[in-house]
């Protein structure tokens, strides 16, 4: 919820909004800035939960879909996808190399496109210094700082074996297309057993780390 001016009394502001779920789901409010309030459940949303949100005289109701959760385990270099608790696909992957490790923590799917232009100079790494300027297929964003799940045909031989990316989750073209087609925006993506530090709540898609 975005307020039109900075909020000084957060408790009072929280009292003007509400979240109702069926079945009942416990959760918490948290602030990402002086003007933005968010709410999330303590655990991932159960499949098929009816959610009603109200604020400022407006009310909106929606229902969650299947509970789809993906986990990248850096110990095995594999992404395991579950749907309502059942494993539906295991995919070989390659994450961030030692100099650009992929942070451990819980992300979620954000913006996506069949083609994504990636240019490392936008975050300070030139091509001469080992950067890139390329278009990737089936990109799904996991973080505002540029981590994506995407097709990486150039690293198929490394997938399932070692980490060679600049932080993204590399998949084969077939697996990346499957991930794009079978997961939705908002579905959690967890990274475990990696060498990187913990993914912070500071990122725009770090809600599960608050």
Structure tokens at 121: 């100079």
Distance of alpha carbon 204 from alpha carbon 210, whole angstroms: 11
For this structure, is 168 an active site residue?
yes
Give me the catalytic one of 77, 117, 168, 198: 168
Give me the catalytic one of 42, 60, 117, 150: 150
Distance of alpha carbon 95 from alpha carbon 118, whole angstroms: 16
Q: State phi, psi for 56 to the nearest 5 degrees.
A: 55, 30
Query: CA 146, 182, 109: angle at the middle one, nearest 5?
Result: 25
Distance of alpha carbon 68 from alpha carbon 48, whole angstroms: 12
Residues recognised as catalytic: 150, 168
């Amino acid at each position: 919820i975005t307020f039109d001016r900075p909020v000084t009394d957060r408790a009072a502001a929280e009292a003007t909004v509400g979240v109702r779920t069926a079945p009942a789901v416990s959760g918490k409010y948290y602030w990402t800035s002086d003007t933005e309030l968010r709410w999330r459940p303590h655990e991932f949303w159960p499949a098929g939960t009816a959610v009603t949100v109200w604020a400022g005289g407006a009310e909106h109701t929606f229902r969650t879909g299947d509970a789809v959760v993906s986990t990248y385990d850096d110990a095995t270099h594999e992404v395991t996808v579950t749907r309502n608790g059942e494993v539906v696909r295991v995919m070989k992957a390659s994450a961030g190399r030692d100099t650009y490790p992929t942070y451990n923590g819980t992300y979620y799917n954000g913006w996506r496109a069949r083609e994504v232009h990636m240019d490392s100079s936008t975050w300070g790494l030139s091509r001469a210094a080992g950067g890139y300027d390329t278009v990737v297929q089936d990109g799904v964003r996991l973080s505002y700082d540029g981590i994506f799940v995407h097709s990486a045909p150039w690293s198929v031989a490394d997938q399932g074996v070692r980490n060679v990316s600049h932080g993204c989750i590399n998949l084969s073209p077939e697996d990346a297309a499957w991930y794009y087609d079978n997961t939705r925006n908002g579905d959690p993506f967890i990274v475990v057993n990696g060498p990187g530090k913990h993914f912070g709540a500071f990122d725009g898609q770090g809600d599960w780390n608050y």
